[in-house]
Structure 1
C-alpha cells in the first residue's frame, strides 16, 4: 500500500484517519495515511528529514503538512524541483507530491481558506482581527488582498502574535498598508473588544488544540455583529466556547474549523494526487464525513 505522510503536531487523534478511507473511495485514490508528529518550533533538520523521507521512498506518494507549513518552506524549500506560486508568495508548503525522483511543493491554504471565509464572512463588514500570524493567517490575508469579490475587502487587517519573527514574516508575505502586524502577550480581550462591529475575529494561534489554553479570557466581550472563526475543530477550544456562550442574543456568528479541515484536506489531496481542485468535491467530502463528527 502506498503511504501518504501527514505532518502535524498530534496526528494520532486527527479525524483524517477515519475520514481518509471514506474519502479515498470518493476520490479514487489508494494510500495509507502515516502520521509524523513534530512539536512546534522543531529544529530545521527535523523538517528537512521529513521532506527527504518523501523524496527517498518510492512507495510514498507525498505528504500533507498541517501545523508546520511555514517551517517546512523555510527549512527545506531548496529540496524541491517545483514550487507553485502560492508557496513562493506565502513562504509555506502544505502539500508535497513526488514527481519521479523529484518533489513538487504546493501551498493550498490560500485556496481552501479563501473558500471558507467567502462563505462565513460574505459582507466583509468591519475589519479582520487574526490572533496568530502563521501560515494560515498569511493565506487568509493573501486571499483577502487578492480576491475580486464585489463585496470588497476589509479596510484593516490586524494580526497579533507573541512571536515578533512571525509578524515580520507576515508583513514580508503580504506587503500592504492595510496589514498591521502587532506583537503582544495574550490574553487579547482588549484587542478584540476594540474591533469594529461586524469584524471577522479568527483564532489562528493553535491554543486550544496544539497547545493548551486560550488567547482570551472567559470575560471577553465580542463586538456586535462579529463573526468568530476558530480554525480548529478538536481540542478544548476555549475561545470557541466563550463565543458560543455569547451568541444567544443573535449579535454574534460563530464557526469552528470543521469546514476548513475538509476544504484544506480536499485541496491538499488534489495537489498530492494530481486531481482537479474542485470546490464541489470538498463539499462532497465534508458530507461524506459529517457522521464522524459525533
Structure 2
C-alpha cells in the first residue's frame, strides 16, 4: 500500500526570489512528500540582498483564502510564518479556532536577515495572546523569544532552557528554541514539551547560503509531524533535512547575496555517466 500523502498549509509572506516564505515552504512540503497549499499574508520585494518593500494583504482577503482552503480540503498540518500585523494575527487565530487543524507550527517571524521588520511592533501582543495558545509548536530564535518574553536574549543554554519554559508558561504547548545566535562550533536547539526537554545539537556549517533557513525548518516540521508519532522524532527528521539542504546549497547559484538552501538536494542535480 502506498504511503499516505498529507495536505499541509502554509500561511506566510511571498518571496519572489524563491528562497524563503511561501516559496520555500512549498518546496519543503514537496521535498518531504506532502501536498502543499498556501494562504499569502504579504507580498515582499526581496532577493538574496534583502527586503526592499512589503505590501500587506488585507486581513479580509487572508480570511477568504483560509476559508477557501479549510472549507474544502482536509488539512493535516499548518505552518505559520510572516503575519505582518495584528489584524492578520487575529484573522489567523479565528480560522484556527474555527477549523481546528490537527497540528500547527508557529514560526514567530519578526525581522528579516537584513533587519527589515516583518511584524509590526503592536502585533507582538496579539501574537502572544492569540496565537501562542493555539500552536502545537513554536520555533523562535533567541531574539524572537526575548521579544515575546520582554526579556534580554539568552546568552547560554541554561538561560535558553529557562526561556523555553517561560514560553510554555505563556501558553505555548511545545517550544523549539533555536540557539543559532549563541555562536560557537555547534548550534544547539532545545525542545520543551509536556513530556520534558531534549537537546538537539548540530555542527554549524560554514555555508554562505542560509536564506530561508528558519522558514524551511518550520515548514519541514509541519510536513513531517503527521508522518511521526511525536515532536522529538519530528524535530530530529526536520533538522536532518535542513542540515542536508544547507550542506548542498553550494550546488545552487542564486543571486549575489545570501543564497537559499537546496530544498531538492535529494532529487537534483543527478549525476550522469
TM-score (norm 1): 0.40
**Larger RCO (alpha carbons 8 Å, 6+ apart):** 2
TM-score by length of 2: 0.42
Structure with higher Rg: it is 1
